[in-house]
Amino acid sequence: MKPLIAYCGLDCEKCEARQATIHKDDEKRKEIAERWSELNHVKITPEMINCLGCRVDGPKTPYCELYCPIRKCALAKGFSSCGLCPEVKSCQDIKAVMDNSPEAVLNLKESKE
């Protein structure tokens, strides 16, 4: 599995926070922070938009590093992907991702191979 595929199967290469980080785009960080603050009903600052990817070394957004239940679970179980977990189909933590991202589901299936 590619290192920039998150535990949930989403592609970190496509993540706007990662793009803003690798391009050192402070305007993009500000735009993302404003939108994510509104969507999540919490204060997110541009400084928080600093992430290189869920499964790679380097900075992560506070949510991804500290709060994401999917990432926490995979790390605790020692899985490099939720696709390796026998409970993935019944997992409530990953359900929204699987329901809304066919690409993530495909990436999880590929992680089994």
Half-sphere exposure of 113 (CA within 13 A, CB side): 7
Return d(Cα 18, Cα 20) in angstroms, integer: 5
Please compute the mean of the pLDDT values over residues 43-60 and round it to a whole number. 96
Domain ranges of the chain: 12-111
Beta bridge partners of 50: none
Write down the pTM of the prediction. Answer: 0.88
Render pLDDT for 13-46 as a digit per residue (tens, 0 to 9).
999 999 999 999 999 999 999 999 999 899 999 9
**Is pLDDT above 80 for 113?**
no
Instruction: Decide if pLDDT at 112 tops 80.
Output: no
pLDDT at 58 over 90: yes
Measured distance CA(30)–CA(27) in Å, rounded: 5
